[in-house]
């Protein structure tokens, strides 16, 4: 690697040639503030917060996109730099609706943090006309509030990176605003509800629809039996909302917190993840043996499903008919569990704690009501759960570790890795290979499908059959694979697709991490590592060996793919228009 | 100024669609040609309604939002058709101080549309313009190639009545 010698604030150092001043400064232990910058996907130098002085340059330069050269002398903290940044912040504030006291991002807002750091005391310094924007609350999962938008375009980049690109900058000058084509509501465009725009927004302009009041109302209603279940990835991300290290497994404290919030039963979505594997592995084997549509593609990720319905409506037959774990969980609760416990499903409220905003959309889908009532009543994001815990005054970090309730609190190692890209594939392989060969697996680790790469491929020979698989995350990568599926060149047997880059650990409902973390820390990898760690330590690591799974099949479903299983655990998909 | 999107139903002909397809086929190998395609589409249709932008987006394989973003950024693109008679009212400095805003307001009131829009029957459209170099006649407006100088609001009804 070619190196160049530079000076940052008079400290000489040698850094790789061509990197940005922003990255070079990190070598010197200096963080230059940014607002619009997202590494690789939004390098547009638009917000002007990262301005620094370069000796000999005519004016200040944007550190995020300006490459370092031999002999460059950079100053990141001069009077001129500080004044520029402060003016920029004051200008941003002049069109920013500042109801910070009640803003959902108060305390985690990047603009607020910078205003404090740069001692912006006069919020009205450039007071003038405010743009007049309407709230867009049309979508099932989120709210867009352009009056808090700072036009950094991080959401636009995130949406483009997902190959969805339904939002962008429209009009110009003072009228510039982020919206959809023809300023249509989000519900009327092919938004897939992934929420990647939300986790990338520096302010409170984008946020999930808050359903915590509905949950509290259900808990306070004595006639309701309120069951909560938590998706695999929540246990390794919830701690971040309480200042814990990225990748801390807080399963025990999470269960304790949910119990203290007043839920009647605290279960684990992992149970339903195991159920999904047993059904999905069976469906795959049936398709392989009976000449069904291949490759079969996983259906756990509702953002991916909605994407497929909008963008590949002619390819829906490739999707597994299995409901997602969230929906399988609710369906099992309102059928088998209600019956076993003598409960009326009408009085059961199922709440899912999900890493995902698309799960809110999923609860409203058709053909997701096994007992005649919606399988899941309310889906909360990790962020909403964190807010509920905070407002209940529960000191999360001091909670004891508690265990899930039984019998639906049992999950295997195969289920816990559902939260990371490749996890569903690995879990399915652990079951499918044993079913196909009738022999016990020597090693349970399918390392080829692990890791945060967007597309991972592997080939296995199983009982004389060659099974080619792919694990894909992020919709841009899904697009690449789906083009092959559409033109018939995808010679895979089984494909796992997760909507969000890196899988659910990086879901649109996960705790917000500032751009500086997203840019320079392996967020996805560190969260996923905690899941694989949990898998390693679990006594049961194959879905079909779970005692809870054996019990529900013995008592209710019969065999995988049975008539009852199809009625309760499987669903259908609908083509959706790209434009309307 | 946020552009007004036409509420008039799209009435493109198969011939126009053929022409647009030919333009797209020439250019779809290079997404950088998006603006050129949009300019030619506007030459064909007179404006860029939803239906035309969808054809461009699909043909050029770019998101519809991208096409819309470009169409709302550049002043040269219209989202509303021009009427049979296009009225252009000068709001340049000289005309403005001589009261052209009142003339524009009166025209809009008479036609029931706002600047940038077209009447539902396709007869009149109204737009604002800057100086047309006839400041001596201020306030001035044009209807197609006819120029009306020293205009007052109370003349508008009579002038509009001359156009069939």
Q: Is the pLDDT of residue B75 over 90?
A: no
Tell me the per-residue pLDDT of B104-163, one tens digit each, with 9 for 90 and over: 999 999 999 999 899 989 899 999 998 989 999 999 999 999 999 999 999 999 999 999
pLDDT at B5: 85
Q: Please give the full DSSP string across A216-282, using - where no structure is assigned.
A: HHHHH-TT-EEEEEE-GGGGGTGGGGGTPPTT---HHHHHHHHHHHT-SEEEEHHHHHHHHHHHHHH
- Token digits of residue A448: 């080829």
Asked if residue A482 has pLDDT above 90, the reply is yes
Residues of B in contact with A172 (CB under 8 A): 72-73
* Average pLDDT score over chain B: 94
Task: Say yes or no: A167 contacts chain B, CB-CB below 8 A.
Answer: yes
Domain A3-77 of CATH type 3.20.20.150: no
**CA-based nearest distance A574→chain B, Å:** 22
Give residue A119's region: left, alpha or beta (phi > 0; psi -120 to 50). left
Chain B residues near any Cβ of chain A (below 8 Å): 1-3, 5, 50, 53-54, 63-69, 72-73
User: For the structural domain made of B85-161, what CATH number should be given?
Assistant: 3.40.30.10
Token code pair at residue A496: 């796992």
pLDDT for the residue B7:
82
A14 to A30, A235, A290, A457, A478: CA distances (angstroms): 15, 41, 62, 39, 40
**Which of B72, B73, B75, B116 to mutate to probe the A interface, most A CBs <10 Å?**
B72
> Å from B162 to nearest chain A CA?
35
Bridge partners, B126 (sequence order): B87
Is any Cβ of chain B less than 8 angstroms from the Cβ of A160? Answer: yes
Spatial distance between the Cα atoms of A121 and A139, rounded to a whole number of angstroms: 36
Residue B87's DSSP bridge partners are B126, B143
Alpha helix locations (H) across B47-155?
50-60, 64-73, 93-97, 100-111
- Closest residue to B69, CB basis, from A169, A175, A579: A169
End-to-end alpha carbon distance in chain A: 51
pLDDT at res. B3: 81
Residue (of A495, A419, A410) closest to A452 by Cα position: A419
User: Is A183 touching B (CB cutoff 8 A)?
Assistant: yes
Of A167, A171, A172, the CB nearest to B65: A167
User: Quick one: average pLDDT of A101-119?
Assistant: 96
Number of H helices, E strands in chain A: 20, 17
Tell me what percent of the residues of chain B surpass a pLDDT of 70: 99
**Structure confidence at residue A215 (pLDDT):** 98
Could you give phi then psi for residue A33, rounded to 5 degrees? Answer: -65, 145
Q: Please give the pLDDT value at position B1.
A: 62
Determine, for residues A165 and B63 on separate chains, whether the beta-carbon distance falls below 8 Å. yes
DSSP reduced 3-state for A338: helix
According to DSSP, the residues that pair with B141 across neighbouring strands are B89, B148
- Using CA atoms, how far apart are residues A39 and B106, in angstroms rounded to an integer? 53
Spatial distance between the Cα atoms of A496 and A352, rounded to a whole number of angstroms: 22
CB contact under 8 A, B73 and A166: no
Looking at CA atoms only, how far is residue B80 from chain A in angstroms? 12
Residue B2 has pLDDT above 80, yes or no: no
Nearest-CB residue to B2 (from A169, A175, A579): A175
Alpha-carbon span A429 to B145, nearest angstrom: 75
Please state the domain extents for chain B.
Answer: 14-73, 85-161
CB contact under 8 A, B68 and A182: yes
Q: Which of B2, B68, B73 sits opposite A181 (nearest CB)?
A: B68
Q: Chain B partners of A479 at a C-beta cutoff of 8 Å? A: none
Nearest by CB to B64, from A160, A175, A579: name it.
A579
Contact (CB, 8 A) for A136 and A207:
no
Query: Which chain B residues are closer than 8 Å to A157 by Cβ?
Result: none
Q: Which residues of A touch B67 (CB under 8 A)?
A: 181
Q: How far is CA A93 from CA A98, A125, A202, A351, B131, in A?
A: 8, 9, 14, 38, 35
Q: Which residues of A touch B5 (CB under 8 A)?
A: 182-183
- B64: which chain A residues are within 8 Å (Cβ-Cβ)? 181, 579
pLDDT confidence tier of residue A382, bands split at 50, 70 and 90 = very high
Percent of chain B with pLDDT over 90: 87
Using left for φ > 0, alpha for ψ between -120 and 50, and beta otherwise, residue A206 falls in beta
Mutate to test the interface with B, among A133, A158, A170, A176 (most CBs of B within 10 A): A170
**What is A213-569's CATH number?**
3.40.50.1780
Query: Is pLDDT above 70 for A405?
Result: yes
How many CB atoms within 10 Å of residue B5? 18
- B10 and B49 Cβ atoms separated by less than 8 Å: yes
Q: Rounded mean pLDDT of A157-163?
A: 98
Instruction: Output the average pLDDT for chain A.
Output: 96
Which chain B residues contact residue A175 at CB under 8 A? 1-2
Does position A1 have pLDDT exceeding 90, yes or no?
no
Query: Residue A470: pLDDT band by 50, 70, 90 thresholds?
Result: very high
Calpha distance B117→A205 (Å, rounded): 31
Q: Which tokens in the block code for residue A475? A: 């919709």
Annotated domain spans of chain A: 3-77, 93-208, 213-569
What would the mean pLDDT of A271-289 be, rounded to a whole number?
A: 96
Give how far A176 is from chain B: nearest CA, Å.
9
Nearest CB to A182: which of B50, B66, B73? B50
Average pLDDT for residues A8-33, to the nearest whole number?
96
C-beta separation of B52 from B12 below 8 A: yes
Average pLDDT over residues A245-272: 98
**Would you identify the CATH topology of the domain A93-208?**
Alpha-Beta Plaits (3.30.70)
Closest CB from A165, A167, A170 relative to B72: A170
The whole-number pLDDT of residue A16 equals: 97
Q: Which residue of A has its CA nearest to B72?
A: A171
Judged by CB atoms closer than 8 Å, whether chains meet at A170 and B66 is answered as: no
pLDDT tens digits, one per residue of A499-513: 999 999 999 999 999
Q: What is the pLDDT of residues A43-97, one digit of tens each?
A: 999 999 999 999 999 999 999 999 999 999 999 999 999 999 999 999 999 999 9
The whole-number average pLDDT for the span A569-573 is 98
Q: Does A129 touch chain B (CB under 8 A)?
A: no
3-state SS class at B142: strand
Q: How far is Cα B143 from Cα B158, in angstroms, rounded to an integer?
A: 13
Report in angstroms the alpha-carbon separations of A309 from A191, A302, A303, A317, A368.
Answer: 11, 10, 10, 11, 16
According to the model, what pLDDT value does residue A491 have?
Answer: 94
- Cβ distance of B73 and A182 shorter than 8 Å: no
pTM beyond cutoff 0.90: yes
Cα distance between residue A249 and residue A238, in whole Å: 8
**Which residue on chain B is closest to A182 by alpha carbon?**
B68
Q: Which residue among A168, A172, A175 sits closest to B65, beta carbon to beta carbon?
A: A168
Cα A186 versus chain centre, distance:
19
Residue A248, pLDDT score = 98
Confidence check: pLDDT of B66 > 80: yes
User: How many residue pairs bridge chain A and chain B with CB atoms within 8 Å of each other?
Assistant: 43
């Amino acid at each position: 690697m070619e190196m160049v010698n530079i000076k940052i604030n008079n400290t000489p150092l040698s850094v790789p040639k061509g990197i940005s001043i922003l990255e070079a400064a990190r070598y010197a232990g200096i963080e230059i503030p940014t607002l619009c910058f997202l590494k690789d996907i939004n390098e547009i130098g638009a917000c002007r917060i990262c301005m620094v002085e370069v000796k000999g340059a005519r004016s200040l330069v944007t550190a995020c996109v300006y490459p370092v050269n031999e002999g460059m002398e950079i100053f990141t903290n001069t009077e001129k730099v500080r004044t520029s940044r402060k003016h920029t912040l004051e200008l941003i504030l002049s069109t920013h609706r500042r109801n910070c006291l009640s803003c959902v991002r108060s305390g985690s807002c990047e603009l607020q943090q910078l205003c404090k750091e740069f001692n912006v005391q006069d919020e009205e310094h450039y007071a003038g006309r405010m743009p007049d924007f309407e709230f867009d609350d049309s979508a099932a999962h989120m709210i867009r509030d352009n009056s808090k938008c700072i036009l950094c375009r991080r959401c636009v980049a995130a949406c483009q990176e997902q190959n969805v690109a339904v939002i962008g900058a429209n009009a110009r000058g003072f009228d510039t605003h982020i919206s959809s084509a023809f300023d249509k509501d989000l519900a009327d465009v092919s938004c897939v509800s992934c929420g990647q725009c939300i986790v990338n927004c520096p302010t409170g302009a984008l946020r999930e629809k808050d359903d915590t009041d509905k949950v509290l109302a259900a808990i306070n209603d004595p006639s309701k039996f309120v069951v909560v279940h938590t998706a695999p990835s929540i246990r390794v991300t919830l701690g971040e909302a309480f200042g814990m290290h990225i990748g801390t497994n807080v399963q025990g404290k999470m269960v304790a917190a949910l119990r203290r919030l007043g839920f009647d039963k605290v279960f684990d979505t992992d149970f339903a993840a195991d159920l999904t594997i047993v059904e999905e592995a069976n469906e795959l084997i049936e398709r392989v043996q009976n000449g069904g549509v291949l490759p079969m593609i996983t259906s756990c990720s509702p953002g991916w499903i909605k994407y497929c319905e909008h963008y590949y409506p002619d390819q829906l037959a490739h999707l597994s008919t299995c409901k997602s774990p969230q929906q399988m969980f609710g369906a099992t609760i309102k059928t088998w569990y209600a019956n076993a416990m003598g409960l009326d499903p009408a009085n059961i409220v199922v709440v899912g704690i999900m890493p995902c905003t698309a799960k809110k959309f999923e609860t409203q889908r058709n053909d997701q009501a096994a007992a005649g009532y919606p399988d899941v009543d309310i889906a909360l994001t990790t962020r909403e759960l964190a807010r509920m815990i905070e407002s209940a005054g529960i000191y999360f970090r001091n909670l004891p570790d508690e265990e899930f309730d039984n019998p639906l609190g049992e999950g295997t190692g195969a289920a816990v890795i559902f939260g990371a890209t490749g996890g569903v594939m690995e879990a399915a392989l652990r079951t499918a290979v044993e079913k196909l060969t009738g022999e016990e697996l020597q090693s349970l680790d399918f390392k080829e499908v692990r890791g945060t790469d967007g597309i991972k491929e592997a080939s296995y020979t199983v009982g004389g059959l060659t099974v080619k698989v792919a694990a894909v995350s992020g919709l841009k990568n899904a697009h690449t694979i789906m083009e092959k599926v559409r033109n018939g060149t995808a010679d895979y047997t089984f494909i796992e697709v997760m909507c969000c880059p890196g899988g659910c650990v990086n879901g649109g409902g996960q705790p917000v991490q500032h751009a500086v973390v997203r840019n320079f820390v392996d967020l996805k990898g560190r969260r996923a590592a905690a899941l694989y760690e949990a898998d390693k330590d679990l006594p049961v690591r194959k879905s079909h060996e779970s005692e809870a799974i054996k019990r529900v099949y013995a008592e209710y479903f019969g065999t995988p793919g049975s008539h009852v299983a199809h009625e309760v655990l499987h669903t259908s998909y609908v083509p959706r228009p790209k434009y309307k | 100024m946020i552009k007004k999107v036409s509420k008039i139903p799209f009435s493109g002909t198969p011939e126009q669609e053929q022409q647009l397809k030919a333009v797209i086929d020439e250019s779809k190998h290079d997404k950088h040609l998006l603006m050129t395609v949009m300019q030619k589409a506007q030459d064909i249709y007179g404006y860029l309604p939803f239906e035309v932008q969808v054809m461009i987006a699909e043909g050029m394989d770019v998101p519809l939002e991208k096409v819309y973003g470009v169409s709302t950024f550049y002043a040269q693109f219209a989202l509303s058709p021009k009427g049979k008679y296009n009225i252009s009212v000068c709001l340049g400095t000289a005309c403005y101080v001589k009261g052209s805003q009142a003339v524009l307001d009166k025209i809009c009131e008479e036609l029931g549309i706002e600047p940038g829009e077209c009447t539902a029957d396709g007869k009149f459209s109204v737009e604002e313009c800057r100086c047309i170099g006839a400041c001596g006649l201020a306030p001035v407006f044009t209807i197609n190639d006819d120029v009306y100088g020293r205009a007052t609001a109370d003349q508008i009804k009579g002038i509009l009545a001359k156009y069939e």
